């Protein structure tokens, strides 16, 4: 199968590209390299340096004729979306609409969309959140990701585009940007290994659902063969506080300092972890890498 992966030079997208190639698929990558890195793209994939908002996207589809789109390209900075919601919407909503329209025009068979389970539910009314939990976003980033979920479903209904929506937890692992705002594990790993002062935003009692990138890639492969119009939470279903995360990483890295605490950042959910029972039942997916093993591998990659 020929698969076009947007954001395929980024953290999660590049791992998806690697796995697709290993499975024997023909892979095309569209990435503007604003945050992704060329060196993360498997040489067996064909890379087009292009913004998903660009009208030239149609030329890529005309040349490559992808059968499936795996959509990972996004503006993923929650705090940045609060500061500049217009830019967030331009990339995440208008860019995704350009991609969907182009896919429709060129007869793409199916579409996998990487959404966010860590943000679309807002402050949960119960935990862990399953797919039936009300979606009440509290930041523009989550609003934009949810809007695209709705557009993907619309294209499925109106044009027969087969799709699967995957709602991600807090994903971590090698290649995550340690200088960005979206990856606390990567940020901590870099600071600890360089002996810098680690700053925890807020009390550190915020809770997240951390899943290693290889497990997320596995879900993408499972969704590849049967895009069935479903939304799936991906998560370990286990809450880990930022203070707990710091303690584990401190031990694994040999970091000698205690954290200091800064102000809480706006737009961030305080506690969230996900019920992935549906993904287990229908996709036969479950996370296999323990938090400690995943953190150990991530720290080793930064070394």
Interatomic CA distance for residues 158 and 152, integer angstroms: 10
Q: What are phi and psi of 144, to 5 degrees?
A: -65, -40
Catalytic residue among 141, 155, 172, 255: 141
Interatomic CA distance for residues 25 and 19, integer angstroms: 9
> Cα 176 from chain centroid?
11
Number of Cβ atoms within 10 Å of the Cβ of 104: 15
Whether 113 is catalytic: no
101 CB-near residues (< 8 Å, 6+ apart): none
SS3 260: strand
Tokens (6 digits) for 60? 């890529």
22 CB-near residues (< 8 Å, 6+ apart): none
Cis peptide before 128 (omega within 30 of 0): yes
The H or E element containing residue 60 is helix 57-64
Cα–Cα distances in Å, from 187 out to 22, 99, 119, 246, 247? 29, 31, 20, 11, 14
Residues carrying an active site annotation: 141
């Amino acid at each position: 199968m020929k698969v076009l992966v947007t954001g395929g030079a980024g953290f999660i997208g590049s791992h998806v590209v690697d796995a697709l190639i290993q499975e024997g698929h023909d892979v095309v990558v569209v990435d503007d390299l604003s945050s992704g890195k060329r060196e993360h793209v498997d040489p067996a994939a064909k890379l087009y340096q292009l913004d998903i908002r660009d009208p030239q996207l149609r030329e890529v589809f005309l040349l490559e004729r992808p059968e499936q789109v795996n959509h990972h390209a996004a503006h993923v900075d929650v705090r940045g979306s609060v500061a500049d919601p217009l830019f967030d919407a331009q990339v995440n909503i208008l860019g995704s609409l350009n991609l969907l329209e182009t896919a429709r025009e060129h007869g793409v068979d199916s579409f996998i969309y990487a959404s966010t389970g860590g943000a679309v539910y807002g402050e949960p009314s119960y935990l862990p959140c399953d797919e039936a939990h009300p979606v009440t976003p509290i930041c523009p980033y989550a609003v934009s990701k949810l809007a695209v979920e709705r557009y993907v479903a619309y294209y499925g209904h109106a044009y027969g585009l087969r799709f699967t929506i995957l709602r991600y937890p807090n994903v971590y692992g090698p290649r995550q940007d340690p200088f960005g705002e979206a990856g606390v594990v990567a940020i901590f790993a870099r600071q600890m290994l360089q002996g810098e002062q680690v700053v925890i935003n807020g009390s550190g009692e915020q809770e997240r659902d951390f899943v290693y990138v290889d497990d997320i890639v596995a879900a993408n492969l499972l969704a590849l063969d049967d895009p069935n119009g479903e939304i799936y939470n991906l998560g370990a279903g286990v809450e880990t506080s930022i203070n707990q995360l710091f303690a584990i990483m401190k031990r694994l890295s040999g970091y000698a300092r205690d954290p200091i605490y800064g102000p809480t950042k706006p737009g961030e959910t305080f506690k969230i972890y996900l019920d992935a029972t549906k993904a287990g039942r229908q996709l036969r997916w479950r996370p296999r890498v323990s938090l400690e093993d995943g953190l150990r591998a991530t720290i080793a990659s930064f070394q």
